[in-house]
């Protein structure tokens, strides 16, 4: 019996664990979910590795028996999902896994060109939380690794977009990075620069001030000289432009409403 006889299998690990066959949810017990997730995240694994990963509190004979039972139940309930190579277990490589798609997107995000291409990718990556509510050590490690990959991808896209003059895209990507790590100064710097380049100094000043206050409150630190200089140069540029016209425009967002000159 071939893979196609079992039906199309899709596994979702982002936002929630779900398994589908021909679009219909397949209900699997929690213990089997964890084995399937481990094989999806880690790739093909030795049985000896899996028992230590999934049943670390069990003695080896009991852990091996738990693994054997889980493999048997999965193979009976979802034929074609697992590939058994004796000591090595794996998912069938024709199972569609959303995590793999996201991993690929984090590698190529900086190369997408049009909004039609990058906007859906950015949206999916912003919402790509791996197995939320799972707290095993190996899952927490993989959650952190995926978050760092997403953070790096967002920052690369933001910087690449800013260099090309796509301010909207740069702002969206920088904001996505800051949702993951609010004190990530590289993303703050790109966001502020994009907003200034976009002609929105009020937003740039607001985002800088929000970052400065939180950095001082949480870590007792000040923004870097490079970021402070970005803001002060913008302020000084507005002052010079105003002086050339002999009057400062009323309500200028860089000159009123924010007590930044005392903090920079």
CATH code: domain of residue 82: 1.10.10.10
Q: How many domains does the chain have?
A: 1
Share of the chain above pLDDT 90, in %: 73
The answer to whether position 248 is within a domain reads no
Reply yes or no on whether the pLDDT at 132 is more than 80.
yes
Reply yes or no on whether the pLDDT at 220 is more than 80.
yes
Give the tokens for residue 133: 């509510």
The answer to whether position 22 is within a domain reads yes
Q: Which domain covers residue 41, as residue numbers?
A: 3-94
The answer to whether position 122 is within a domain reads no
The answer to whether position 74 is within a domain reads yes
The answer to whether position 114 is within a domain reads no
Compute the average pLDDT of residues 2-29: 86
The answer to whether position 67 is within a domain reads yes
What residues form DSSP beta bridges with 21?
9, 24
Q: Which residue has the higher pLDDT, 45 or 252?
A: 45
The answer to whether position 125 is within a domain reads no
**pTM value?**
0.82
Compute the average pLDDT of residues 152-176: 92
The answer to whether position 7 is within a domain reads yes
Contacts 24+ apart (CB under 8 A), 178-184: 179/126, 180/147, 180/150, 180/151, 180/154, 181/151, 182/211, 182/214, 183/211, 183/214, 183/215, 183/218, 183/219, 184/151, 184/155
């Amino acid at each position: 019996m071939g893979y196609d006889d079992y039906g199309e299998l899709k596994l979702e690990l982002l936002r929630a664990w779900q398994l589908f066959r021909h679009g219909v949810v397949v209900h699997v017990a929690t213990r089997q979910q964890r084995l399937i997730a481990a094989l999806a995240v880690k790739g093909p694994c030795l049985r000896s590795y899996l028992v230590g990963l999934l049943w670390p509190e069990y003695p080896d004979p009991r852990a091996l028996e738990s693994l054997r039972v889980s493999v048997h139940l999965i193979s009976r309930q979802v034929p074609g999902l697992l590939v058994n190579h004796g000591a090595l277990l794996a998912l069938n490589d024709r199972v569609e896994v959303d995590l793999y798609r996201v991993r690929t997107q984090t590698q190529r995000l900086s190369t997408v060109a049009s909004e039609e291409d990058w906007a859906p990718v950015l949206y999916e990556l912003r919402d790509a939380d791996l197995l939320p509510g799972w707290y095993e050590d190996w899952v927490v490690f993989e959650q952190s690794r995926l978050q760092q990959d997403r953070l790096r991808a967002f920052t690369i896209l933001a910087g690449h977009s800013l260099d090309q003059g796509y301010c909207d895209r740069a702002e969206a990507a920088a904001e996505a990075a800051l949702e993951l790590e609010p004190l990530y100064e590289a993303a703050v710097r790109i966001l502020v620069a994009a907003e200034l380049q976009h002609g929105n100094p009020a937003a740039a000043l607001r985002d800088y001030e929000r970052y400065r206050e939180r950095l001082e409150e949480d870590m007792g630190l000040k923004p870097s000289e490079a970021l402070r200089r970005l803001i002060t140069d913008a302020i000084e540029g507005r002052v010079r432009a105003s002086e050339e016209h002999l009057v400062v425009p009323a309500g200028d967002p860089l000159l009123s409403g924010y007590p930044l000159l005392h903090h920079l």
